[in-house]
Amino acid sequence: MRINTELCTGCKACLRHCPFEAIEIVDKKAYIMENCTNCGACIDSCKFGAIQKEEDTNQTAPELKPSSETYEGIWVFAEQHRGRLAEVVRELLGAAQDLAVQRQTYVAATLLGSDVAGLVEELFAYGAERVYLVENPELTLYRTEPYTYVLAQLVHEFKPEIFLLGATTLGRDLAPRLARRLGTGLTADCTALAIDPEERLLLQTRPAFGGNLMATIACPHHRPQMATVRPGVMHKKEPDYTRRGEVVRRSYEIPQKCLRTKVLEVVDQARTTVNLEEAEIIIAGGRGLGGPEGFKMLEEVAKLLGATVGASRAAVDAGWISRDHQVGQTGKTVKPRLYIACGISGAIQHLAGMQNSECIIAINTDPEAPIFKVADYGIVGDVHQVLPVLLEELKS
């Protein structure tokens, strides 16, 4: 949908007829928002003919065959907060390198912000061959609309084949808006990425139907192929700070309509957080612990092991431990060197968040529990009998 601002009088008739509340008045002119579904209900309501429907806009990506060479390159959104890269960026660059080898193309990072050029070397070190750098005071702190506008301009100009973003709070806000702006598909919360050797498409795997199965999704007709990837599921490669690459600087004038929101204040609040994604050792408890007292014993073991305490959704829902500790599809995805599952049966939703751990030890009374199918070592027994013995051994 497009508004002809010369004909629009700001009468608000279209607002009353829009069933999706996708129109707003800015400076006495109607403005179509991102949640517009192109239903056309507003067209007949406008007495001045100011609303038109465009079937082919310059914001919609053309339909492409998989063999088309029009689009190339694998891009990673270099999410940064106050000049510090998010950990998921390093993981995505590692995954992008593997995909690029199969597609015989380059890896690039898109870096947006203000005075963030100092991060370029780190992006090269983790695998980027090219960095698209856009610095603008309006990009200092993240806001959805200016970031979407700038990234869309970059995509239209340089045409990447694949665009990967982290499934972080920021990424989950930005990715769907950008995909809608580009007229392409998006697979959210992926846990695996691969290239189809025959069709040469990006295969994007994610949990589906409440985690009861894993779905593999492809986007054959539109570009770029877009996906958000859960932090902690991809292998982070060792950095090589001797690597060098190309820096492509761009400057875009961000329209005023994309600057409707303003960050008034950023409040830093100190609180205790559980950084499960970066933990080397995790000892996690489930329903088998019987109550919050069981987690006190887990905390004792964790202290001696230098571990972080995790939990299944059942334990969190029961109120035995806070949600910060939850591992699984609806919690955090982890990949520690050692994962000890205590009283966790191993529902597929939980396995989706920890099955890539290097070594898994499971303790459960049920020898048929699904957790034993992914465990490297299994102990069939009551966790209340096994943990005290482990505790005494660690103390001695």
What's the pLDDT at 273?
60
Backbone phi, psi, residue 113, to 5°: 160, -160
Percent of the chain scoring above 90 in pLDDT: 40
312 annotated ligand binder: yes
Candidates 43, 64, 44; CA nearest to 52 is 43
347 annotated ligand binder: yes
What's the pLDDT at 237?
85
What's the pLDDT at 136?
92
What's the pLDDT at 207?
77
Q: Classify 2 as helix, strand or coil.
A: strand
| Residue 359 pLDDT level (bands cut at 50, 70, 90) | very high
91 and 180 in a single domain? The answer is yes
Residue 6 lies in a domain: yes
282 annotated ligand binder: no
96 and 227 in a single domain? The answer is yes
What's the pLDDT at 130?
93
287 annotated ligand binder: yes
- Sign of the C-alpha dihedral computed for residues 321, 325, 326 and 330 taken in this order: positive
249 annotated ligand binder: no
96 annotated ligand binder: no
141 and 213 in a single domain? The answer is yes
- In the predicted structure, residue 268 carries a pLDDT above the cut 70: yes
What's the CATH code of the domain at 8? Answer: 3.30.70.20
What's the pLDDT at 54?
63
346 annotated ligand binder: yes
Residues 6+ apart with CB under 8 A from 354: 282, 284, 310, 327, 328, 333, 334, 335, 339, 341, 360
319 annotated ligand binder: no
240 and 307 in a single domain? The answer is no
What's the pLDDT at 270?
56
102 annotated ligand binder: no
What's the pLDDT at 57?
37
CB of 127 within 8 A of CB of 102?
Answer: no
360 annotated ligand binder: no
What's the pLDDT at 69?
54
Residue 30 lies in a domain: yes
Choice among 159-168, 327-336, 386-395 with the minimum mean pLDDT: 327-336
The neighbouring-strand residues paired with 338 are 281, 359
Residue 65 lies in a domain: no
The larger pLDDT score, comparing residue 79 to residue 212, is at 79
217 and 87 in a single domain? The answer is yes
Residue 60 lies in a domain: no
79 and 190 in a single domain? The answer is yes
148 and 229 in a single domain? The answer is yes
Residue 270 lies in a domain: no
Per-residue pLDDT tens for 203-261? Answer: 998 877 665 677 888 988 888 999 999 887 888 888 899 989 999 999 988 888 888 88
The larger pLDDT score, comparing residue 82 to residue 67, is at 82
Backbone phi, psi, residue 207, to 5°: -65, 145
Domain boundary among 207, 227, 258: 258
- In the predicted structure, residue 68 carries a pLDDT above the cut 50: no
313 annotated ligand binder: yes
What's the CATH code of the domain at 319? Answer: 3.40.50.1220
What's the CATH code of the domain at 224? Answer: 3.40.50.620
Choice among 7-21, 132-146, 303-317 with the minimum mean pLDDT: 7-21
Query: What is the average per-residue pLDDT within 315-320?
Result: 90
275 annotated ligand binder: no
Do the strands 213-217 and 80-81 form a parallel or antiparallel pair, or are they unpaired?
unpaired
204 and 310 in a single domain? The answer is no
* Inter-residue long-range contacts of 194-201, CB under 8 Å, 24+ positions, other chains counted: 194/99, 195/99, 195/102, 195/103, 197/102, 199/66, 200/66, 200/67, 200/103, 201/66, 201/225
Give the mean pLDDT of the chain.
86
355 annotated ligand binder: no
Domain boundary among 258, 288, 320: 258
User: What is the span of the domain harbouring residue 25?
Assistant: 2-52
What's the pLDDT at 352?
81
Distance CA 360, CA 377 (A): 7
Query: What is the average per-residue pLDDT within 28-38?
Result: 80
343 annotated ligand binder: yes
Residue 57 lies in a domain: no
225 annotated ligand binder: no
178 and 222 in a single domain? The answer is yes
86 and 204 in a single domain? The answer is yes
84 annotated ligand binder: no
The larger pLDDT score, comparing residue 20 to residue 263, is at 263
Per-residue pLDDT tens for 125-166? Answer: 999 999 999 999 999 999 999 999 999 999 999 999 999 999
338 and 209 in a single domain? The answer is no
104 annotated ligand binder: no
Domain boundary among 229, 258, 287: 258
What's the pLDDT at 271?
54
- In the predicted structure, residue 67 carries a pLDDT above the cut 60: no
Q: Which two tokens stand for residue 166?
A: 């982290």
Which helix (H) or strand (E) covers residue 152, if one does? Answer: helix 144-158
Query: Side chain identity at 341, as an amino acid letter?
Result: A
Residue 41 lies in a domain: yes
Whether this prediction's pTM lies above 0.85 is answered by no
Query: What is the average per-residue pLDDT within 328-351?
Result: 88
What's the pLDDT at 378?
93
Percent of the chain scoring above 70 in pLDDT: 93
Residue 67 lies in a domain: no
What's the pLDDT at 14?
86
253 and 281 in a single domain? The answer is no
Per-residue pLDDT tens for 94-109? Answer: 999 999 998 889 999 9
Total domains, the chain: 3
